[in-house]
Amino acid sequence: MDAFFAELDRINGQVYLYGLVGLLVAVGLWLTIATRGVQVRHFGAMVRSLTRSRAGAQGGISSFQAFAIGMATRIGIGNITGVALALILGGPGAIFWMWVVAAVGMATGFAEATLAQVFKVRAPDGTFRGGPAFYVSVGLRSRGWGVLFAVLLIFAMVVAMPMVQSNTIAVALEAAQGVPTGVTGVVVAALTALVVFGGVRGVARAAELITPLMALAYVAIALAVIVANLTHVPAFLGDILAGAFGLREGLAGLGGGVMVALLNGAQRGLFSNEAGMGTAPNGAATATVAHPVQQGFVQSLGVFIDSMVICTATAFIILSTDASGYVPGVTPREEAASLTTNAVVGQLGAWASWPMLVMIFFFGFSSILGAYAYAQVNLDFLGGPRWSRFVLAAVTVATTGIGAVQALPHVWILMDSAMALITVVNLAGLVALTGWVRAALADHEERVRRGDGAPPDAFSSAVLPDPDAAPAWRGAAA
């Protein structure tokens, strides 16, 4: 079995690096062209949509809460260790390519969320359910593809994801403060139980509070480091651009070369903001909004915030000070988890180690909550009995506790395989339903042009290629 998993791990690495990255970028470019650069033309509307997203839930889940669920899994430990690993393997130039793929991924994020809204259905508790399992069934004209997506995502989100996140939290606390992993496991599992047994509503309420606070706290720390190193900003930008195009020796990562910088930057950027991977739209579908495109705008902005703001903040923290210990082409990949903390402590003092640990804790914890919400959406798609939700929550709590004390690398490998298949199925659905995205966007743009705004009964499925396939929007919007 060890040999089997070793080979599967090797195959995963090749598939992710050379297969999925290319597919994700290609579909992102396709959707950018199909929507005529929605992420550029409507960036102002995206920002305005976020500021207006707290209202209008009408007893359901607000647009902002759905956005927070998505950001809970996007803004995770990968924003700290993933960016550091990209710098180690690809050099500073990897950050430039991370920016490029994020710009393309914003179109993918928009399309995913819009389709999740178009094909959502109302749940018995009055909230909505939707996501790739729902729209893939229509786009690929087979419920079987939707079932495959749902089953694989449930495994990844309630078994593998909680274990990965809680293990990372436990290891960080043990290494920094000597906290036993068992203690961490009990605490994280107990906190998880308090939230997930409340269902998607409980996750939405927790995410609405935790996600903005942890993002703002992290950006505040990054700004403190930036202020202390303002004179390094030109050098920071210069290193990124020079490294991206191989213009200066000594800026290559461990792999060396422009192509390695491109691949690692693209890989870490895409897998951090999750655009195209089929996870975030499960949260986007739960929102009660007047028009599907409104949530598309909000979720697209989430891709921007994750990669352009949070990931860039991590890169600056590491590159702006020698305290991080980062040396291009020299620093081993095993030090990825400590580079950011080392840099912050070196700049702000030993007291800063605790805020960093708290953020690592909540980055991982919020990812567990978001993952559970995604799993519940897909369980509802499969049509499980009411008691199955209790089982889903119990399994999530159990795997969270187990993951803290036992890494189980085989589970991680299986998660990578499952996520690869999920991503391919989701991308196929996005391409097949591009016309639906364009129809919804054209309807929204026409209403804005006429000055109608978007009253609650504005959007109707009549503008879609098949009105009967979008029951939540048949006649008047939900």
Read off the pLDDT band of 394 (50, 70, 90). very high
Could you report the per-residue pLDDT of 268-304, keeping only the tens digit for each? 777 777 888 888 899 888 888 888 999 999 899 989 9
Average pLDDT over every residue of 447-468:
76
Question: Facing residues of 82 across strands?
Answer: none
- Region 170-177 average pLDDT: 82
pLDDT, mean of residues 349-365 = 83
8 Å CB contact between 73 and 306: no
pTM, full prediction: 0.87
> What pLDDT is recorded for position 119?
93
8 Å CB contact between 122 and 478: yes
For residues 141 and 417, give the distance between their C-alpha atoms in angstroms, rounded to a whole number: 24
| Complete DSSP assignment for 93-134 | HHHHHHHHHHHHHHHHHHHHHHHHHHT-EE-TTS-EE-SHHH
Count of CB atoms situated within 10 Å of the CB of 412:
18
pLDDT digits (tens, 9 = 90+) for 36-70: 999 999 999 888 887 765 555 455 677 777 777 77
Of 469 and 147, the structure prediction assigns the larger pLDDT to 147
Q: Which of 264, 242, 239, 269 is closest to 254 using CA atoms?
A: 264
Q: Which residues contact 307 (CB under 8 A, 6 or more apart)?
A: 98, 99, 101, 102, 105, 269, 272, 273
Q: Of 41-55, 144-158, 265-279, 312-326, where does the model show the most confidence?
A: 144-158
| Whole-number Å distance between alpha carbons of 2 and 162 | 23
Query: In which band, very low, low, confident or very high, does the pLDDT at 125 lie, cut at 50, 70 and 90?
Result: confident
- List the single range of 20-34, 54-68, 114-128, 328-342 with lowest mean pLDDT: 54-68
Which residue ranges form the domains of the chain, and what is each CATH number?
A: 2-451 (1.20.1740)
The rounded distance, in Å, linking the Cα atoms of 241 and 69 is 33
DSSP state of 254: S
Q: From the centroid of its chain, how far is CA 444? A: 26
Query: What is the reported pLDDT for 351?
Result: 81
> Please, where are the H alpha helices in 329-386?
336-348, 353-382
Nearest to 136 by CA among 425, 381, 441: 425
> How high is the pLDDT of residue 478?
41
Confidence band (pLDDT; 50, 70, 90) for 453?
low
Both structure tokens of 235 = 């050098």
CA distance 119 to 113: 10
Residues 314 and 165 sit within 8 Å (Cβ to Cβ)? no
pLDDT score recorded for residue 8: 77
Residue 64: what pLDDT? 75
User: At residue 154, does pLDDT exceed 70?
Assistant: yes
177-236 residue pLDDT tens = 888 989 999 999 999 998 888 766 677 777 777 777 877 888 888 888 888 888 888 888
The count of other CB atoms within 10 Å of the CB of residue 386 is: 7
Of 77, 130, 469, give the one whose Cα is nearest residue 299. 130
CA separation for the pair 415, 163 (Å, rounded): 11
Residues 264/86, Cβ–Cβ less than 8 Å? yes
Average pLDDT value over all residues in the chain: 83
Residues contacting 205, CB < 8 A, separation 6+: 65, 198
pLDDT tops 90 at residue 34: yes
Instruction: Give the C-alpha distances (Å, rounded to integers) separating 120 from 123, 218, 467.
Output: 9, 33, 13
Angle among Cα 407, 413, 414 to the nearest 5 degrees reads: 110
Sign of the C-alpha dihedral, residues 219, 225, 230, 231? negative
Residue 109 has pLDDT above 60, yes or no: yes
| Residue 29 near residue 104 (C-beta atoms within 8 A) | yes
Q: What is the structure's pLDDT at 477?
A: 44
The DSSP letter of residue 287 is B
- 3-state SS class at 178: coil
Burial 106-127, CB ≥16 within 10 A → b, else e: bbbbbbbbbbbbbbbeebeeeb
Say if residues 339 and 331 touch (Cβ distance below 8 Å). yes
CA distance linking residue 422 with residue 361, whole number of Å = 27
Are the C-beta atoms of 304 and 106 separated by less than 8 Å? yes
pLDDT of the residue at 369 = 86
Band of residue 92 on the pLDDT scale cut at 50, 70, 90: confident
